[in-house]
């Protein structure tokens, strides 16, 4: 019996590759759509670079005797009020929540919270994709990314922001892991290594584009809001991502898999004619 199961699995895999090919126009479309998930993931993971930039500050009011020489970006025990210099934003994240001196560590803690969420999200959405399908897992995580990032731009307090930041990390984990799985499942065995590597190519573009978001955003809230707006557009693009035929066949949904493979062959024939 175990030997028979292995043979069936191997035959079904060969059948898929022989039907839709190892790599063609349809697989290329899937790879391009899946690579859009990297933008959402990288924007969330790396926006901390501009969100918590080094905001210079100076003590402008002391409790008691006034100091003659005040050193910028220096904390004083008897300082009553600090004044922030104009930096990247008119009003930055660090300035709004007063994350300086003994609270300075809270600025980088927001990234720690996100990475913990990412760790949990990789496991959670890995399970969701196995249970409910690859495309559903990708779409649900993309929707959560957009909604939660939009909500975090309106966070009234620091700890509310951290809670939303954790959930953003959970959704980002789904964007990172499931896209790779679906690409490896639709591409033939001899092309999987290259396809798996190429899906990470948008990472550098996503990181570089954060400069534009930060440059034209007056506040950190607009900065996150603008990223979430563009992410919403990419989320709509991900709606075109088909389900993995291999997953459908492994769950006994051969009819649905046949429909998707028929569309894949149609794509191949269309580009062959062109």
Give a yes or no: residue 97 inside a domain.
no
- Same domain for 67 and 122, yes or no, is no
- Same domain for 139 and 68, yes or no, is no
Distance from the first to the final alpha carbon of the chain:
47
- Same domain for 121 and 225, yes or no, is yes
Residue 1 has pLDDT above 50, yes or no: no
Give a yes or no: residue 251 inside a domain.
yes
Give a yes or no: residue 151 inside a domain.
yes
- Same domain for 151 and 77, yes or no, is no
Domain of 133 in residue numbering reads as 19-53+105-269
Residue 134 has pLDDT above 80, yes or no: yes
- Same domain for 73 and 142, yes or no, is no
Query: In Å, how far from its chain's centre is CA 71?
Result: 40
Residue 9 has pLDDT above 50, yes or no: no
- Same domain for 83 and 115, yes or no, is no
Residue 47 has pLDDT above 80, yes or no: yes
Give a yes or no: residue 29 inside a domain.
yes
Give a yes or no: residue 23 inside a domain.
yes
- Same domain for 66 and 191, yes or no, is no
Q: How confident is the model at residue 274 (pLDDT cuts 50, 70, 90)?
A: low
- Same domain for 110 and 246, yes or no, is yes
Give a yes or no: residue 7 inside a domain.
no
| Per-position b or e across 221-255, b if 16+ CB within 10 A of its CB | bbbbbbbbeebbebbeebeebbbbbbbbbeeebee
pLDDT digits 0-9 by tens, 186-228:
887 778 878 877 888 888 899 999 999 998 989 999 999 999 9
pLDDT digits 0-9 by tens, 91-125:
888 888 988 888 889 988 999 999 999 999 999 99
Element (H, E) at 59: strand 57-62
> Which pLDDT score is estimated for 30?
87
pLDDT digits 0-9 by tens, 22-38:
787 788 888 888 888 88
For every residue of 60-83, DSSP letters joined together read EEESSSPPSS--TT---TTEEEEE
Give a yes or no: residue 99 inside a domain.
no
Count how many domains the chain has. Answer: 2
Give the pairing type, strands 57-62 and 79-84. Answer: antiparallel
- Same domain for 128 and 82, yes or no, is no
Residue 165 has pLDDT above 70, yes or no: yes
Give a yes or no: residue 242 inside a domain.
yes
- Same domain for 148 and 245, yes or no, is yes
- Same domain for 41 and 63, yes or no, is no
Maximum C-alpha span of the chain: 87
């Amino acid at each position: 019996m175990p030997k028979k199961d292995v043979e069936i699995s191997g035959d079904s895999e060969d059948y898929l590759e022989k039907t839709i090919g190892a790599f063609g126009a349809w697989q290329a479309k899937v790879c391009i759509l899946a690579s859009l998930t990297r933008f959402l993931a990288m924007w969330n993971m790396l926006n901390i670079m501009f969100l918590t930039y080094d905001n210079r500050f100076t003590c402008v009011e002391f409790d008691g005797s006034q100091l003659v020489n005040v050193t910028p970006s220096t904390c004083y025990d008897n300082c009553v009020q600090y004044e922030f210099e104009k930096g990247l934003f008119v009003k930055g994240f660090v300035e709004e929540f007063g994350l300086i001196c003994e609270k300075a560590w809270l600025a980088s803690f927001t990234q720690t919270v996100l990475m913990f969420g990412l760790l949990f999200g990789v496991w959670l959405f890995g399970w969701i994709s196995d249970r409910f399908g690859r495309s559903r897992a990708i779409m649900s995580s993309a929707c959560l990314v957009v909604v939660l990032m939009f909500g975090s731009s309106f966070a009234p307090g620091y700890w509310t922001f951290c809670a939303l930041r954790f959930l953003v990390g959970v959704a980002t984990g789904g964007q990172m892991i499931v896209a790779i799985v679906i690409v490896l499942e639709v591409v033939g065995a001899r092309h999987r290594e290259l396809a798996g590597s190429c899906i990470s190519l948008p990472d550098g573009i996503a990181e570089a584009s954060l400069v534009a978001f930060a440059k034209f955003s007056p506040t950190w809230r607009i900065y996150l809001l603008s990223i979430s707006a563009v992410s919403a557009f990419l989320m709509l693009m991900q709606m075109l991502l088909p389900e993995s035929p291999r997953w459908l066949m492994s769950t006994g949904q051969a009819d649905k898999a046949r429909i998707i493979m028929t569309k894949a062959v149609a794509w191949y024939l269309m580009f062959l004619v062109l």
